[in-house]
Amino acid sequence: MVSSDTIELDEVVVRYRSGWQLGPVSATFPVGVSALVGPNGAGKTTMLAVLTGIKRPKAGTLRRDGQPVRRRREGSGYRAHIGYVPQECTWSPSWPVEDFLTFCARMYRVPSTQVRHRCQGVMSDLNVGQFAHQPIGTLSGGQKRRVFLAAALVHDPEVLILDEPTVGLDPGERISFRRHVVEQAASRVVVLSTHLMDDVALSADQVHLVDGGHITWSGTLPELMAAAGESDSQDHVSVAERGYLHLMQGRAESELPEGDR
């Protein structure tokens, strides 16, 4: 893998027919885990859709390593460098794991001589080899998530995009899934959206708060903790939670008329 150092949104705007608008938003996503956090309907999935190259912005530019991304045929160009695990994965439940991964590898044009090797590799990395011949529909939520992460990694992408990856997982599965994500982020750009502050506090290097179609705050985990006034605390999860509430509340209050504050 030739690694991308950054992907970047530069003054990006998306507008839906309903009139809802994302942006303009600008943000840079380096190697490591960047988390998009915010309430329902804030625009996180829309931002991820632009980052995957699936959604074309109405204005602004998506850049990879500083270069504007131009859309090309699927499987070539930018999208060949992206691994994506959407919020809901709706593949046929009767499909055995290894067959599914083989299909994904071929879809991403992994050279045929390497397909088996890549599938074996990601099954081993994600600890799903024991399910190779099992239909996806017979796996637990956490096991399925690991299979979909394996599918997103089968072509060794430079960028991994995960939409609420740990929703519905039990505590053990979440810990294990997070560990896999952090391992993958050692050498690639990972952008994930989440509502869960333990995902943020235990995996994110960079945090972006998203609200009303805008990025309202960006910083590191220590900076988020500092917003709660407790940057030295060892309890990263609850302090990050308090930092989040403080920053979101601050924004809401600043928009209120003075007499209502």
Ligand X SMILES: Nc1ncnc2c1ncn2[C@@H]1O[C@H](COP(=O)(O)OP(=O)(O)OP(=O)(O)O)[C@@H](O)[C@H]1O
Q: Which residues bind ligand X (CB under 6 A)?
A: 16, 18, 20, 38, 40-46
Q: Single out the residue of 117, 134, 114 nearest to residue 125, CA to CA.
A: 117
82-85: strand order across its sheet: 82-85, 159-163, 189-194, 32-37, 206-211, 214-220
Nearer to ligand X, 25 or 33 (CB): 25
Instruction: Please say whether the beta carbons of 154 and 182 come within 8 A.
Output: no
Q: Single out the residue of 158, 157, 154, 144 nearest to residue 122, CA to CA.
A: 154
Q: What are the start-end ranges of the E strands in the chain?
A: 6-15, 21-30, 32-37, 59-64, 67-68, 82-85, 159-163, 189-194, 206-211, 214-220
Nearer to ligand X, 54 or 226 (CB): 54
Q: How far apart are CA 115 and CA 229, in angstroms?
A: 50
Compute how many other C-beta atoms are within 10 angstroms of the C-beta atom of residue 115: 19
DSSP β-bridge partners for residue 67: 64
Pair of tokens at residue 120: 């074996």
Cis upstream peptide for 111 (omega within 30°): no
70 φ/ψ angles, rounded to the nearest 5 degrees: -110, 140
